[in-house]
Amino acid sequence: MNRRKFLVGSATACAVIGRGFSGQGMKAKGLKVVVVGGHPGDPEYGCGGTIARYVERKDRVTMLYLNRGEKGCSQRSSQECADIRSTEAKNASKILGTSTKFADQTDGESVISPGNYDKFFALLQAEAPDVLFTQWPIDNHRDHRAASNLAYDAWVRANKSFGLYFYEVSDGEDTVMFSPTDYVDIEKVEAKKRSACFAHASQSPERFYALQDEVSRFRGIESGRRMAEAFVRHRESADHLLP
C-alpha cells in the first residue's frame, strides 16, 4: 500500500484506519508519527514519554518544529540562538530516537497565510503520518497557537485521514483550558523524557521540567497511573493509535 496516496484524498488503508478499521496490517509495519510543536522542546515536553514508547515498539517518529526558537536566548544574536537550539533539538532527537524537521518560520513572528498553509501541508505530506500530534489551540504563546492551527488545517485538507491528538505544555503558563480524553503511561520512560527535555539546556530545563513533571504526576493520578501524558483526541480521529 502506498501511504502517500492518502493525502490526495483517495480512500486508502490509512483512511480506513481513520474510520475505525482494525489497523492490524498497518500496525505490523509500524506507525509513522509526527509531533508538531512551535519551538524546539515543545514536542519533547508535551509528548516525550509517548514518543519514547512509540520508538520502543519500532514506530517511526518525526518532531516537526515551526521555528528554531531563535529569540529564546538572552544576549545572543538570533542566528547564534538558532544554531544552539537546532543542536539541542538534534540532541533531544538522538535521545528519543526520532528525526527532526523545521518549518523555518520565525520565533514569535508566526505567520498564518494561504502560502504558509500550503507549505505546512507539503511538509506533512512528505512525512505521510498515520497519527499527528499538535499543540492545543488555546495557548498563551502565539507560536503554539500557530503550530496548532497550521497542523489542524493540514489534517482537514488531508480529509482527516490519519489520527489527530492535541497535547499540553506548561499548563497555566502556556496551555490553558485543556480537558484530556486519553492518557499514556510514561512511568517507565520518564528518565528518557527527562534527558530529552534537559537536552534543551539553554531553556532553563530545571524550571520548566519541574512544572511539566507536576503535570505528568497529576495526569497520572487522574488516570490511575503514577505518571502519564494526557491528550485530547479529535472526535473524528481513530482511537487506537496511542502506544
Nearest to 100 by CA among 85, 115, 113: 85
**Ramachandran class of 82: left when φ > 0, alpha when ψ lies in -120 to 50, beta otherwise:** alpha
The number of residues that bind Zn ion (CB under 5 A) is 3
8 neighbors 160 (Cβ within 8 angstroms): no
Report, in Å, the least distance between residue 7 CB and Zn ion: 27
- Near Zn ion by CB under 5 A: residue from 18, 38, 49, 72: 38
For residue 126, give the C-alpha cell: 512528505
Looking at beta carbons only, is 116 or 203 nearer to Zn ion? 203
In order of 30, 49, 74, the CA distances from 188 in angstroms are: 21, 9, 35
In our burial notation (b when 16+ CB lie closer than 10 A, e otherwise), range 98-114 reads: bebbbbebebeebeeee
88 binds Zn ion (CB under 5 A): no
What's the closest the beta carbon of residue 243 comes to Zn ion, in angstroms?
23
CB-nearer residue toward Zn ion: 38 or 129 = 38
- Which of 162, 209 has the CB closer to Zn ion? 209
Structural contact between residues 110 and 140, judged by C-beta atoms closer than 8 angstroms: no
One of 23, 36, 39, 120 touching Zn ion (CB under 5 A):
39
Radius of gyration over alpha carbons of the chain, in Å? 17
71 counts as binding Zn ion under rule CB under 5 A: no
Candidates 39-47, 113-121, 149-157, 176-184 — which segment interacts with Zn ion by CB under 5 A? 39-47
Shortest distance, position 143 Cβ to Zn ion, whole Å: 6
Q: Nearest distance from residue 169's CB to Zn ion, in Å?
A: 7
Q: Does 42 bind Zn ion (CB under 5 A)?
A: yes
Binding site for Zn ion (CB under 5 A): 38-39, 42
